[in-house]
Amino acid sequence: MNNTISLKEIAHARSGDKGTGANVGVIAYTAAGYAFLEQELTSERLTKHLHELHPQGVQRYSLPGIRAYNFVLPSILDGGASRSLRIDSQGKVLALAVLEMQLPRPENLAQMQPKSHQS
């Protein structure tokens, strides 16, 4: 058995721009998944995953009512919507890349997956 999982197995996400930076909100499917993300989906791990965008000072905020963590990534959009030289100048697709992050496989993975997604 593979000893890692993709974040997308236990969460969904959305991203967008914040001036010259971006935010990514990651929403766990279940309470067990939210508790796991508290330990595993750290600012450090996200910084490492997106290292080619040179994130600095990544902040993590919690929204327990919807089991979500919001990450604010200052100045990663290469100048922001109008000055960025990148195709995704507004950070719209960052969320999908974040959902591809690999995390250690939890023992209670089934408790973190929504029923509709289990195969």
Partner 1 sequence: MTSIRVGNAAGFWGDNLDAPRLLCESGQLDYLTLEYLAELTLSILAHLKSRDHNAGFVSDFPTVVESLIPQLRAQPNLKIVTNAGGMHPSACAAAVSGILQKAGMNDVRVAAVAGDDLLPQLDTYLAAGEPFQNLETGEALDQIRPQIASANAYLGAAGIVQALRQEARIVVTGRVADASLTVGPAVHEFGWDWTDWNSLAAATVAGHLIECGAQATGGMFSEWDRHGAPLALANVGYPIAEISDGGDVVITKPSGTEGAVTVATVAEQLVYEIGDPAHYLTPDVDADFSQVTLTQIGEDRVAVAGAQGGPAPENFKVSLAYRDGYMATGSLVICGRGAIAKARACGQIILDRVARAGVHLQRTNIETLGGGDSVPGGWPDRPEPWEVVLRVTAHDPSKPNLERFLREFAPLVTAGPPGVTGYTGPRPKPYPVMAYWPTLIAQTRVTPQVEVRAAGDWTR
The residues facing 9 across adjacent strands are none
Instruction: Rule CB under 8 A: say whether 57 interacts with partner 1.
Output: no
**Choice between 16 and 39, CB closer to partner 1:** 16
SS3 call for 70: strand
Size of interface with partner 1, in residues (CB under 8 A): 53
Instruction: Rule CB under 8 A: say whether 13 interacts with partner 1.
Output: yes
Q: What is the dihedral of CA 113, 63, 13, 100, to 10 degrees?
A: -70
Calculate Rg over the CA atoms of the chain: 15
Cα dist from 55 to 3, 50, 68, whole Å: 27, 7, 21
Q: Min. distance of Cβ 89 from partner 1 in angstroms?
A: 10
The secondary structure of 23-34 as a DSSP string is EEEEEESSHHHH
Instruction: Rule CB under 8 A: say whether 41 interacts with partner 1.
Output: no
**Which residue shows structure tokens 């750290």?**
42
Binding mask 87-116 for partner 1 (x = CB under 8 A): xx---xxxxxxxxx-x-------------x
Residues that bind partner 1 (CB under 8 A): 6, 8, 12-14, 16-21, 23, 25, 27, 49-53, 59, 61-66, 68, 70, 72, 74-75, 78-83, 85-88, 92-100, 102, 116-117
